[in-house]
Amino acid sequence: MEAPKQEQGEPARLPTIKDVAGLAGVATSTVSRALSNPDRVNRRTRERIEEVAARLNYVPSSQARGLSSGRTNAVAVLVPDITNPFYFDIIRGTQHQLKAAGFTQLLVDTEESSEMELDALHKMRRSADGFILAASRLTDAELAEVSGTQPLVTINRASAIAPSVVIDTPSAIIQALEHLASLGHQRVCYVSGPPTSWSNHMRWKVFEEESAHRGMDAHRIGPFVPKTTSGAAAADAAVRTGATACIVFNDLLAIGMLQRLRERGIRVPEDISIVGSDDIFGADFCNPPLTTIASPIEQAGRVAVSMLLSQLNPTPGRSSRQLAVMPTHLTIRASTGPAPAQA
């Protein structure tokens, strides 16, 4: 494949603010202001400058801009696992909102590791104006330290320390248990995810309390890596508890369980009911379609961006919001059904 390398004859130097200034007959400072601070300059001048800029196809260098202004117009979004559809939804949300605000999104996969998370936070502190931490794996202390240094907002990780947007887990778990109770389930099991996950912790806590409150028999298994591949182990463990219904840390794991149960000939929902969480892509068309705790994840991403941005340039009047709670609702599909008759 020796395709001809087409070389550019002209190095085609990109036009700079200087070129614009020259052609418009003003100083570079005026061009700078005309473009980023329009009121600071006479309308006529501004229009002339804009015209020249457009003609030259001028695009300011974000590098230079960042260097002199101290702002980068970029926000880093840190997710534990870029592979997980759940985060895709968040990424979609942040991407959308950031773009709307003229910001660039820097996507980072922290691979479920708090070290990588800290490292990224540190390495990028110069290249991003702020951070969005999705499902942070940081300890409270670490979070506090980082939060003191740079603007950030967390998703699915509440703390008094940093602004955060969280899913209304308690309500979700309660809804799910209510649903299961109404189907006659008595022996229920929580299938847990990563031990470092705050939301996993929350879910179990509420699960435990609420099932006790309803006089249900609560089990817990795990932790499991929240991937479909861990579903087999989770399914086997779940069956072993004798529970007739499971609430699973997330849909990925739940879908994996579904597959395993099917392999083992255990019918869902006739033999065991499964409730997932997050309503990710695929939850509606797996087999059987998954009953799951749905929440507006993409919107969570958007809200997080809004909170971050209002933190970046604070409106003197009102202080920016410190906590946003996203509503949840149970989406009932075919993976939950009446509890099997007593054996």
Partner DNA sequence: CAACTTTTGGCAAACGCTTGCCACTGATGT
Partner DNA sequence: ACATCAGTGGCAAGCGTTTGCCAAAAGTTG
Name the residues that contact DNA, by CB under 7 A: 13-14, 16-18, 25-30, 32-33, 35-37, 39-46, 58-61, 63-65, 67-71
- Compare residues 35 and 325 and give the one whose CB is closer to DNA: 35
Residues 100-159 that bind a copy of itself (CB under 8 A): 104-107, 109, 122-123, 125-127, 148-149
N- to C-terminal Cα separation, the chain: 69
**Contacts from 337-343 at CB under 8 Å and sequence distance 24+?**
337/183, 337/269, 337/270, 337/273, 338/183, 338/184, 338/269, 339/183, 339/184, 339/185, 339/186, 339/244, 339/245, 339/273, 340/244, 340/270, 340/271, 340/272
- Compare residues 68 and 315 and give the one whose CB is closer to DNA: 68
Q: Which of 19, 322, 329, 340 binds a copy of itself (CB under 8 A)?
A: 322
Segment interacting with a copy of itself, rule: CB under 8 A, options 206-214, 241-249, 267-275, 314-322: 314-322
Nearest distance in Å: CB 343, a copy of itself: 29
Q: Which residues partner with 276 through β-bridges?
A: 292
Nearest distance in Å: CB 311, DNA: 18
* Residues 63, 117: Cα–Cα separation, whole Å: 24
Report yes or no: 282 and 318 within 8 Å, Cβ to Cβ: no
In 30-179, which ranges are E strands? 74-79, 104-109, 130-134, 152-155, 164-167
52 binding partner (options DNA, a copy of itself, none; Cβ < 5 to 8 Å by kind): none
* Residues 155, 305: Cα–Cα separation, whole Å: 10
If one asks whether residue 5 binds a copy of itself (CB under 8 A), the answer comes out as yes
Residues that bind a copy of itself in the complex, under the rule CB under 8 A: 1-3, 5-6, 8, 12, 14, 57, 59-64, 66-67, 72, 82-83, 85, 88, 91-92, 95-96, 99, 104-107, 109, 122-123, 125-127, 148-149, 160, 163, 228, 255, 258-259, 281-282, 285-288, 319, 321-323
